[in-house]
Amino acid sequence: MNELLIGVLGLQGDIEENIKAITDAFKEMKIKGKVIPVRYPEEIMKVDGLIIPGGESTVMGLLIAIKNGLLDAITRILQEGLPVMGTCAGMIVLAKKSYDKVVGNKKQLLLGALDIEIERNSFGRQYDSFESNLDISGIGNDYKGIFIRAPTVISMGPDVQILSKFDGKIVAVKQGNIIGTSFHPELSGDYRMHRFFIESITNWKKTKN
Amino acid sequence: MTISQVGAYPLSKGIKITTIDRKEISSGTALIKRGFAHMQKHGVIMDVTNVEQAQIAEDAGAVAVMVLDKLPYDVRHAGGVARTAGVKVIQAILDSVSIPIMAKCRIGHLSEADILEEMGVDMIDESEVLSPADESRHIWKWNYTTPFVNGAKNLGEALRRIEEGASMIRTKGEPGTGDVSHAVTHIRMVNNEIKKIKGIYDNNDDQELIKISRELQSSYEIVKETGKLGRLPVVNFAAGGISTPADAALLMKLGCDGIFVGSGIFKAEDPLERAKAVVIATTYFDDPKTVLEAQKMIDEKKSMLGLDTKNLNLRMQERGPTV
């Protein structure tokens, strides 16, 4: 198999932290792979999997819409079924619908790839941001979840699978090859989530060949 | 771990621990506070004084807004004492935009900080743009659950603020002047000092690291961590005098993690277009073609005229406690 190439959408947010998480996960799995920040359509079309990082979903949406061809490229890889993982803001960008807990509806670009509705800032503002241990199906228990002004999944379509709940709220989901998390696996130092994502890429590549 | 834990006080007052479903949840930890600052990376934080400006900033792609009573340029012209913004204005902005809301308090003003935390702002800027309230001490920021950002002109200042609990550092620059040169001086100063420390760390010369930590009036642990990382242990933004997309790109090129724009946007005559252009130039700072596209979105005739920093009555970067 060719060396894996993973892209981290490099517009805004904790891009380098996701690159580090994937690099360390590759080492743990003894997989030869490369991970690069991607900001241009031609870079997006080269990758075997894409991470949309944490940051601000409104900013990423705006920058996706502004750059010529970027939205088309991301839409195309999503249609092809390429594995994509969105953490926090990244999950919002992947969602079909979203509203903010305090200020309500905000017009923002959403990719609509995950059949979910998001409540932004679902646990409150930064003062209420927290860390706590999570159980995640397919990944394991005692996973340090880092929730920063975190969104949650309020409702979802039949094809969406719940991976984790916290305090009665849905905080991790999977639909086909797309993963969304409310929390920041890239900040926890525990790279099980990124390994899970890499596995979904290797599996996808096998079925494609 | 992708976020440094150096200097973190595991039992500081700002950490709140509760239990849900027999699971412990912790707020206000160094990881949660520094993590918030990491989410701002590659973004532009814009100064605003009212809801209308906050809305424009959000629509233009600001990663957060910073609320203050007067833009730094107007603080200079008004004279007198500059204090934290009005509570009603901050509340109105909290109720209207979905992005993080930051607000400034005076250096050392514990009670202004208490009020901002009580209102629920997402980050507090202990800022030299306002009149300092304490000439001998900064706020001990470990006592707060809300993360803080502080300004710094050099590495010693930056490390001392981090040791007091700052989760983010920004250059001081010379706010409200439209002159970016002071921010450039400050980031170059920090970069050069870090480069030197990294060399010493790589040589395993502990004696020299201890000597430097004494010179910087900072602890050996944080100096060593800085040498090991080859960068500040928290994110480092540029601030002070940024007025154009090209200014933002320049500071990103010098290694800043993101940008604060103060008077540069709302003292210009084309705020919405300019704000968008600065956001684009910050993301694509290393791509001259895209920075040019961004620069085309603004009209230099509409930039704030600015102030000659050689003849300023007030040098904001010099205000506040020296240690």
Cβ within 8 Å, pair B120-A127: yes
What is the average per-residue pLDDT within A14-33? 97
Question: Rounded to a whole number, what is the distance in Å from the CA of A166 to chain B's nearest CA?
Answer: 9
What is the average per-residue pLDDT within A16-33? 97
Which listed residue (A43, A119, A184, A194) is catalytic?
A: A184
Model confidence at A107, in pLDDT bands (50, 70, 90)? confident
B35 and chain A in contact, CB less than 8 A: yes
A194 assigned to active site? no
Which residues of B belong to the active site? 104
pLDDT attached to residue A209: 72
- Distance separating alpha carbons of residues B155 and B182, to the nearest angstrom: 15
Look up the domain containing A109 and give its range. Answer: 4-208
Model confidence at A43, in pLDDT bands (50, 70, 90)? very high
Instruction: Enumerate the residues of chain A whose CB falls inside 8 A of the CB of residue B122.
Output: 125-127, 149
Of residues A63, A89, A124, nearest to B61 (C-beta) = A63
Question: Rounded to a whole number, what is the distance in Å from the CA of A73 to chain B's nearest CA?
Answer: 18
The tokens describing A5, both together, are: 């190439």
Q: What is the pLDDT of residues A182-201, one digit of tens each?
A: 999 999 999 999 999 999 99
Cβ within 8 Å, pair B43-A59: yes
What 3-state DSSP class applies to A64? helix
What is the average per-residue pLDDT within A107-132? 96
Structurally, chain A folds into a number of domains equal to: 1
CATH of the domain at A119: 3.40.50.880
Answer yes or no: are the C-beta atoms of B166 and B149 closer than 8 Å.
yes
Interface of B with A in 53-72 (CB under 8 A): 58, 60-64
Q: What is the pLDDT of residues A53-75, one digit of tens each?
A: 999 999 999 999 999 999 999 99
Q: Is the pLDDT of residue A52 over 70?
A: yes
- Distance separating alpha carbons of residues B109 and B107, to the nearest angstrom: 6
Cβ within 8 Å, pair A89-B39: yes
pLDDT attached to residue A133: 95
What is the average per-residue pLDDT within A71-99? 97
Which of B46, B321, B315, B40 has its CA nearest to residue B164?
B321
Q: Give the type of residue at B266.
A: F
Indicate the fold that domain B34-308 takes in CATH. Answer: TIM Barrel (3.20.20)
pLDDT tens-place values along chain B, 323 residues long: 689 999 888 789 999 999 988 889 999 999 999 999 999 999 999 999 999 999 999 999 999 999 999 999 999 999 999 999 999 999 999 999 999 999 999 999 999 999 999 999 999 999 999 999 999 999 999 999 999 999 999 999 999 999 999 999 999 999 999 999 999 999 999 999 999 999 999 999 999 999 999 999 999 999 999 999 999 999 999 999 999 999 999 999 999 999 999 999 999 999 999 999 999 999 999 999 999 999 999 999 999 988 988 888 899 999 999 88
Instruction: Enumerate the residues of chain A whose CB falls inside 8 A of the CB of residue B35.
Output: 129, 146, 148, 184, 187
Q: What is the pLDDT of residues A146-159, one digit of tens each?
A: 999 999 999 999 99
Of residues A17, A59, A106, nearest to B2 (C-beta) = A17
Q: Name the pairing type of β-strands B23-27 and B123-127.
A: unpaired
B3 and chain A in contact, CB less than 8 A: yes
pLDDT attached to residue B11: 83
- Distance separating alpha carbons of residues B197 and B200, to the nearest angstrom: 5
What radius of gyration, in Å, describes the C-alpha atoms of chain A?
Answer: 16
In the DSSP assignment, the letter for residue B311 is G
Cβ within 8 Å, pair B280-A59: no
Q: How many CB pairs under 8 A join A and B?
A: 141
pLDDT attached to residue B284: 98
Model confidence at A1, in pLDDT bands (50, 70, 90)? low
Of residues B323 and A37, more confidence is placed in A37
Interface test with A, best of B34, B36, B39, B256 (most A CBs within 10 A): B39
Query: Buried (b) or exposed (e) across B103-126, using 16+ Cβ within 10 A?
Result: bbbbbbbbebbbbbbebbbbbbbb
Cβ within 8 Å, pair A130-B25: yes
With a CB cutoff of 8 Å and minimum separation 6, the contacts of B165 are: B7, B9, B12, B14, B139, B140, B141, B142, B143, B144, B148
Which of A46, A66, A58 has its CA nearest to residue A4?
A46
A16 assigned to active site? no
